Chains A and B, each alone.
Chain A
Amino acid sequence: MMVRRGRLGLAVLAVVAAGAGCGADTTSRRGEAPPATGARLAVAGERLGGLPAVPVSALEIPAPAPLADQDTVATWAPVLRRVAARARPRGDARQVGTLATRTPEATGNIVAVIGRRTVGTAVWVRVRLASLPNGRVGWVPRRALGGYETVDTRLVVDRARRTATLLRAGRRVFSAPIGVGRAATPTPAGEFYVRNVLHRYASPTYGPVAFGTSARAPTLTDWPAGGFVGIHGTDQPELLPGAVSHGCIRLRNADILRLARLMPVGTPITVT
């Protein structure tokens, strides 16, 4: 429903007369001292129905629309407190992992939120753990996490086809050839999420931008900083597409830069 424009056709904000009065004066200038040009009060002389005409709104308000994205939206939240993740939403359930507040890359840790349950008065949240074995999930108390953010993107990594495709609201907005892990050091399959973005580091091996994910290289358990799978650029683009890495997903530098403009942190990643 568009706000009707009315007879005056004032569709945009009127220029306040030559910026007159746009100074330190904080009181309204609309009142008893009209501007010299009268530009903003084009109603001069038009008295319709005896009272002056009605000024038109500066805002065009679109028709309110329901949320249509429940199927494609994913939620994430920052970890505010170091906390045990449990197999069930109970304080005495078996611990299946730990949520740290920071990542090895010195960013705030975030988790993908995939479920919720209210137990009595306490809200528990189901989250993806960035640990081995891959695919592990656990329950944490709501108060261990910060505010929810949602994303409407999903990255689909097809190891057989060696492609990475970014969907937004279910529609393809990006696709590129990739390098994936070699047979001995495969990129793990499953559901993960983008945990952070690294940039402005000096390391051509990783290209201009690198995304950290929640995925761990299953065969590199001794890797420093945990052996996380990243999505990054490369200084060997001639190897792509191919099974060439220790688990990371490599893109040509131009492609990773494009992806960086389209893919926010928290984006879920499906690796098949």
Chain B
Amino acid sequence: MGGTDEHVAAAPGGMPRRRLLGLGFAAGGAALAAGWGLAGPAPSLAAPSPAQDAEILGFALGLEDLQETFYRQAAASSVLPAGDLRDFVETVREHETAHASYLRTLLGAGAPAPAAFTFTTELASPESIASTAILLEDLAVRAYNGQAGNLTTAALAEAAKVVSVDARHAAWIRSIVGQPPASEPTDPGVTAADVTATLTKAGLG
């Protein structure tokens, strides 16, 4: 996998999009590129710890910010029809705002600022709004699930309150568009590398 520079998507104003990817890790799994991520050597992290919590929740916050941004822009979009889909977008927007704010509070002063991002093709039609929502919600669920075991008890308790709501979102939007809402028996966790790869592939990284 290449270095971080390959998928920089600078956005007008605010932090470059890649700040999400840079926070705490490098997309390629290689050593942290200079200037990115946390300063100093990585703590020897295997066991849960508050420092690791901060990394993980910081990463999760990036996803919540991305979702919040998406739903905010979708709500303002002219292609969003009244009805089920609008109800969904507006309700979920409130939730993602609450999720981001919740994680920010937990992280305190060290919380990363939200990265600015402008969704374009994702907002082209109700269908693309729905499919982007599905992608983001599923990704959030599996990202949380992947890191649950690496969190301290306290952080896990908090993260657990968020992940099930994102899962509800995922089934909800699928129901709206007539897809099977829950066909898999588990939501296996994915690695952070998988998350970034998915976002990159979707043009959101």
Contact = CB atoms under 8 A, between A and B. Distances in A.
A1 B184 CA distance: 8
A32 B52 CA distance: 11
A251 B130 CA distance: 65
Q: What size tier do the contact residues of chain B reach?
A: 35 or more
A66 B190 CA distance: 28
Contact of A34 (B46, B153, B189): B46
Main secondary structure of the interface of B (DSSP, over half): loop
Give the most central of A53, A54, A55: most B CB within 10 Å.
Answer: A54
Nearest to A47: B42
A91 interface: no
Interface string A1-43: 1011000000000000000000000011011101000100101
Contacts of A50: 24-26, 29, 32, 37, 55, 192-193
A54 B190 CA distance: 7
A52 interface: yes
Interface of B: 24-27, 29, 32, 37, 42, 44-50, 52, 55-56, 59, 146-147, 149-150, 152-154, 184-186, 188-196
B194 to A, nearest CB: 7
Interface of A: 1, 3-4, 27-28, 30-32, 34, 38, 41, 43-45, 47-55, 57, 59, 61, 63-64
A61 B48 CA distance: 27
B192 A48 contact: yes
A34 B45 CA distance: 11
Nearest to A43: B46
B152 A61 contact: no
B158 to A, nearest CB: 13
A169 B37 CA distance: 60
